[in-house]
Amino acid sequence: MTDIAIVDYGMGNLRSVSKALEHVAPDASIVITGDPEVVRKANRVVVPGQGAMPDCLRELDARGLREAVLDAAINKPFLGICIGLQMLFESSEEGNVKGLGIVSGKVLRFPPTAMVDADGQKLKVPHMGWNQVHQAIDHPLWEGIPNDARFYFVHSYYVETTSPEPAAAYSLYPFAFTCAVAKDNIFAVQFHPEKSHEAGLTLLRNFVQWEPASRADSQARM
């Protein structure tokens, strides 16, 4: 049985994610896989990703991984990273594509007219580099991570939730945008924990130890 499956759909910094997880969970069975059956049988699933949203979703479908990812998002601890966060939403301005629709909201491009700092200096897009992450809720994945800790970002688009409940953290660039969401057994982040030194490793360690109630379990109790 695979402990952690890192979903390989041809997009993303898979090896760095795998090495970071191996560092925090040296005894775990961790695989990078494009096999839907391996994803379905894994105890935990991580969906990283870099690149354009339309390409990511196309590759997810081309490799037969969509249903396995949806199943993981319902039934087991699930961590989305970068595009792995964005694809959970209903739609994206990038290519005007539909997402997986697991989280209500949309993915927007940083608007050029708003990209000016307090001194009137133009800000670059993509938003690239270290930025503070302001925790909006208590969550097991924030355990041991100081509020306002710095994480590493690389993105031109950001997520906007329909309601405030899923938002687990926000960052400023220059306005506040949601950079982490939490919903049932899902935790997903815009930043890259695998590139974020001790804070990122702590988040990954917390994910490996996290035992959430799945959405399916919650529905069964209702």
Question: How far lies 99's CA from each of 53, 57, 85, 95, in Å?
Answer: 9, 8, 10, 11
Conformation bin of residue 120: beta by default, left when phi > 0, alpha when psi is -120 to 50: left
Which position has the token pair 């870099």? Answer: 50
List the catalytic residue out of 82, 94, 127, 155. 82
List the catalytic residue out of 37, 165, 192, 197. 192
Give catalytic status of residue 179 as yes or no: no
Give catalytic status of residue 82 as yes or no: yes
Angle, to 10 degrees, between the axis of helix 14-24 and the axis of helix 197-209?
70
Helix, strand, coil shares of the chain as percentages rounded to 5? Answer: 30, 30, 40
Give catalytic status of residue 155 as yes or no: no
List the catalytic residue out of 94, 155, 179, 194. 194
User: Residue 190 in contact with residue 179, Cβ under 8 Å?
Assistant: yes
Give Cα 85 distance to the centre of its chain: 4
Question: CB within 8 A of 155, min separation 6: which ones?
Answer: 82, 126, 127, 190
Catalytic residues: 82, 192, 194
